[in-house]
Amino acid sequence: MVKIEPFQVEQWMDRYETTPGVINTAETCVASVSINELVDLGEDKDAKLLDFSRPLTYSAIRGSDELRRRVAELVSKGASSPLSAENVLITQGAIGANFLLLYTLIGPGDHVVCVYPTYEQLYAVPEHLGAEVSLWKLKQQNGYVPDVSELETLVKSNTKLIILNNPNNPTGSVIPHSVLQDIVAFAKARGITILSDEVLPSEEDAPPSILSLGYSKTVATGSMSKAFALAGIRLGWIASRDKDVIEAVASARDYTTISVSQLDDQVAAYALSPSVLPSLMSRNMEIARTNLELLDGFVRKYSSVCRWVKPKAGTTALVQFRKEGEPVDDEKFVLHLLDRTKVLFLPACVCFGGGKHFKGFVRIGYACHTSVLREGLEKLAGYVEEHLS
């Protein structure tokens, strides 16, 4: 029997995000849009979001050609050669994409290097599958940007995969283009595959997808949840220039979900269409930018009790709270804050640090509706002044 440890982030969200009256500033998705809002964002008012005449059979097993083509265009933006739709596999969310990829590529006797902190799935699943995992620890003093020189001591002769998360969850850091190039050069010289979880949103001028850097053994995963504000359709993807990877994962997927919902596929294809995508992303990035400045104002105002590295992209921030100069017990802090104010954060030591690291830190999801964040910060300010200042 495979020993599976509790997935702390998801356990916390499942346990507390339905608290009556909760002010959810722990969620990582940009404030979700409704179907009506999505249609209103479209420039082509004659375009159909759903074809109600289509029989509700299985969707195309690997995803519709239209959707895979649009994902390929998305992830190969800035590349010297565009990606083909054949290099994309549609999955049940990015979490499904990551699991399938790891399930297919990793097993006992393999070694994996994974950035840390990051979404727990990315290093826990390889361990569940019997692989050895070395954590590539991101340092606050380095802006949570990975130090490529450390790869020399982390990589082994049996290293199968280097796992990145860009933008990073929970820190909101971004790996600069030059650093990505160095990572690719290092992996290419040793024939190591790179997996880049690229689910969080980034600005237009942010570093491109790992797939655009000219190395064939790169894989990117993403979804419609975070950047595209459509978490409810549970749709993601795996994209790679290595067709063998796509074929292997497609074969493994036959044992699990087979295909995604035909309805979800149609909604995603509509959202990524040229008439909708620009307006959708403009809306989402405006929420993220506005809210980040609100959060930045709070951290600066209460700098005596909280500190951070301001996020460069994404939807999450890692903020440390202190009392009398010492980090708070983040688990107790989060639960007490929730009890007194209904404001929900995630305790980073529990959810990202294995109970050992990131003491006093919490993850704040700041891309909720601006009114929600503003209310949460007002209540947090009152709590800080009463209990921490």
Mean pLDDT of 176-189: 97
| More confident call, 49 vs 219 | 219
Interatomic CA distance for residues 64 and 231, integer angstroms: 19
Interatomic CA distance for residues 109 and 35, integer angstroms: 46
Residue-wise pLDDT tens digits, 376-389: 999 999 999 999 98
Structure confidence at residue 316 as a pLDDT band (50, 70, 90)? very high
Q: Is the pLDDT of residue 330 over 80?
A: yes
List the one residue out of 320, 298, 334 whose CA is nearest residue 117.
Answer: 320
What's the pLDDT at 1?
62
Mean pLDDT of 172-194: 97
What's the pLDDT at 359?
97
List the one residue out of 135, 212, 142 whose CA is nearest residue 171.
Answer: 142
Residue-wise pLDDT tens digits, 121-162: 999 999 999 999 999 999 999 999 999 999 999 999 999 999
Q: Is the pLDDT of residue 214 over 70?
A: yes
| More confident call, 174 vs 3 | 174
Q: Is the pLDDT of residue 218 over 80?
A: yes
Q: Is the pLDDT of residue 36 over 90?
A: yes
Q: Is the pLDDT of residue 78 over 80?
A: no
Q: Is the pLDDT of residue 4 over 90?
A: no
Residue-wise pLDDT tens digits, 252-287: 999 988 899 999 999 999 999 999 999 999 999 999
Structure confidence at residue 342 as a pLDDT band (50, 70, 90)? very high
Residue-wise pLDDT tens digits, 291-314: 999 999 999 999 999 999 999 999
What's the pLDDT at 364?
98
List the one residue out of 206, 177, 213 whose CA is nearest residue 314.
Answer: 206
Q: Is the pLDDT of residue 205 over 80?
A: no
Residue-wise pLDDT tens digits, 41-68: 999 888 888 888 888 888 789 999 999 9
Question: What is the reported pTM?
Answer: 0.96
What's the pLDDT at 5?
82
Query: Do residues 221 and 238 touch, judged by C-beta distance below 8 A?
Result: yes
Burial (CB count <10 Å: 0-12, 13-18, 19+), residue 307: middle
What's the pLDDT at 48?
85
In the chain, what are the domains?
Answer: 8-35+278-387 (3.90.1150.10), 54-272 (3.40.640.10)
Task: Report how far apart, in Å, the C-alpha atoms of 334 and of each of 119, 318, 363 are.
Answer: 19, 13, 10
Mean pLDDT of 191-198: 98
Task: Give Dmax over CA atoms of the chain in angstroms.
Answer: 65
Q: Is the pLDDT of residue 38 over 90?
A: yes
What percentage of the chain has pLDDT greater than the value 90? 88
Query: Do residues 226 and 199 touch, judged by C-beta distance below 8 A?
Result: yes
Mean pLDDT of the chain: 95
